[in-house]
Amino acid sequence: MFQGFSPATIDFMWGIRFNNDRAWFEPRKAEYKACFEQPMKELCRECYEEYSARHKDLELVSRVSRIYRDARRLFGRGPYKDHLWFTVSQSAEDWSTRATFWFELSPEDYSFGLGYWMAHASTMAKFRARLDRDPKTFEKIVRPLQKNGELELTGECFKRPRSAPTKFLEPWYNRKSGFSVGCTRSHDDLLFTPALKDEILKTWEELTPLYRYLSTLDGDPDPREDGAKEN
């Protein structure tokens, strides 16, 4: 059962930040599993089980990141991540291109919400085309999210803004390669208690109408001519 993270979790992440090599990590592997990996997996399991039980029709799966970086993509960095995350989303090999619920813990802060890691250009084109056809439906879904003052919309924007169907939709319409809606917090007392799970689930529930909307984009026709890539 998830009991919260601990100060040792934060200390370990900072240790990796400043000592990212096997010589430091291997003698502390048991510590990593006890204070970082195990509570992250427990939190993931409990969030997944409770959320998927409420939304059985979505047929969700969960994933927990590994601390080991891909050796082919180190680019001068150490072999270990100084942060971990988990996701809950519909099953797909290319899950990182689809809307996904997440939780992430880093040395500086933690965050949770809904978004894309790297949406396909076709997905974003379908999204904008749907907003053009029916802006009111999307506005009705996302306007209530403004009541949560912590939720923030982030994501790379086009250098040259495009004309959105309404001014309200401009921040959504002009995201180039996906977006995220979530909360980011400095380490606080909640992080070290079982109540963290409830806070994550509460936010995921708020974002569920948006998730359902985004998860249906695959069925829309690609509006781009000959599948041309967007700049």
**Helix ranges restricted to H, 26-102:** 29-32, 38-54
Tell me the mean pLDDT in the region 121-130: 95
**H-helix or E-strand containing 201?**
helix 195-215
Is residue 17's pLDDT more than 80? yes
Task: Retrieve residue 162's tokens.
Answer: 């495009």
**What does the mean pLDDT of the chain come to?**
92
Which residues make Cβ contacts (< 8 Å) with residue 76, sequence separation at least 6? none
Question: How far is it, in rounded angstroms, from Cα 83 to Cα 13?
Answer: 7
Q: What is the pLDDT of residue 187?
A: 97
Tokens 């799966």 locate to: 61
Amino acid (one-letter) located at 113: G
> 59-68: per-residue pLDDT in tens?
999 999 999 8
Give the C-alpha distances (Å, rounded to integers) separating 168 from 54, 135, 211.
31, 10, 19
What's the full length of the chain, in residues? 231
Domains along the sequence of the chain with CATH: 7-224 (3.30.930.20)
Mean pLDDT confidence for 29-45? 96
What span, in angstroms and rounded, lies between the C-alpha atoms of 53 and 119?
27
Residue 217's pLDDT band (boundaries 50, 70, 90)? very high
CA angle, corner 189, sides to 183 and 191, nearest 5? 55
For residue 117, the model assigns a pLDDT of 85
pLDDT digits (tens, 9 = 90+) for 162-189: 999 999 999 999 999 899 999 999 999 9
pLDDT classification of 90: cutoffs 50, 70, 90: confident
CA separation for the pair 94, 48 (Å, rounded) = 19
Strand partners, 88: 62, 101
